Amino acid sequence: MELECKCGEACLKNSEEILLEIDAAHSPCPICSTIKLKKFRPLKDQLNLDSINLQWGRCECGKRHMDLVMAHILKIMIKEEIQDEKSTLRSSAVPLITPAYPLKNEPFLGDNSLIVLASKMNEKCAEIIYSEVSEVKGVLKGEINNTVGIKDFSSSPHVYDLLAGCDLRCDILSTPLGPIGIHKKQSQIHIEVPRQHSPKITSLSLFLKNNNLYSDFKVLDATCGPGTLGIFCLKAGADKVVFNDLWKPATTMTTFNLESNGFKVDFFDEKLENCKVSYGKNFEVYNVDIRKIDSFVEEKFDLCIIDPFPGVDSKEFVDATRKLAKKTLII
């Protein structure tokens, strides 16, 4: 399976390739410097907005401190009357770097390394930001507190609006079995900030250890999202993992993430016309209501993983999968 982004750029990469570049991705060169800006003070009170342009604060290596990039974005938002002159860096937009990983220092950004999420935005302003700020890969409109996707069986889907560019980004997660790269179309997949130690991965790893699940075990990742937990199980020695999610974009991202993490995809229904979205040697990916999954899979599982959205009652998920697995882990 070829890893291709619809935008035509090399947004989808094998995790090994990303990891080779990760140390230098957002690190400053020896001569990188920045202009100190206060995030909670109006930007206009700190400098002349007319002085901000593409070269402002840029090192000869091509990178700029993220605060300077966000200042450039805010200048455009003020000029386009999306934000007023009292706006601060903290209140203007949410920066989502790519690839994202736990950083020891503040990031210095190169071209196409940032997706911006703003609650106040229009298409004209987004296009200006995308064309004038080279670090920006894509511009989204939405409220960060409104989770994208489908929360449960009775919910309607929610997405952010992609107003300019491409919103495909990658999180690098640290795990006991080595890093995992998780690609996401950020307008369609919930935001999770990579940490030095992922609480979800830690819980799953401990569960596998305590239940002696080291090899030849089968897993149902019932609410798989972009596939993180199921991919970890494959790395941990699972004989088979069945991924499932009610949200079609999640199953697409799961498929891409399986391939990018070294698990070859033998079939992918790109049009998403079937309930079985993709499969490989030791995995299958489904897009069905979990209450009906037993109509599509015959085997029994050693473990069912349920990772619901915050605030969602997991009881219905547990009831739906009770007969399918020996043990259930709610994360």
Predicted confidence pLDDT, tens digits, the chain (331 residues): 788 888 888 899 888 889 888 888 999 999 999 999 999 999 999 999 999 999 999 999 999 999 999 999 999 999 999 999 999 999 999 999 999 998 888 999 999 999 999 999 999 999 999 999 999 999 999 999 998 999 888 889 999 999 999 999 999 999 999 999 999 999 999 998 888 889 999 999 999 999 999 899 999 999 999 999 999 999 999 999 999 999 999 999 999 999 999 999 999 998 878 899 999 999 999 999 998 998 999 889 999 999 999 888 899 899 989 899 999 999 9
**DSSP string covering 35-81:** ----TTS-GGGTS-GGG-STTTT--TTS-EEHHHHHHHHHHHHHHTT
Which residue type sits at 44? K
Which residue type sits at 128? I
Domains of the chain are 15-166 (no CATH), 196-330 (3.40.50.150)
Supply φ then ψ for residue 200, to 5 degrees.
Answer: -70, -45
Cis preceding linkage at 102, omega within 30 = no
Residue burial 267-286, b: 16+ Cβ < 10 Å; e: rest: ebbeeeeebbbbbbeebbbb
* Residue 257: per-residue pLDDT: 97
Q: How far apart are CA 150 and CA 249, in angstroms?
A: 10
Contacts 24+ apart (CB under 8 A), 182-185: 182/226, 182/227, 182/228, 182/231, 182/253, 182/257, 183/11, 183/12, 183/226, 183/253, 183/256, 183/257, 183/260, 184/226, 184/253, 185/249, 185/252, 185/253
Q: What is the pTM of this model?
A: 0.94
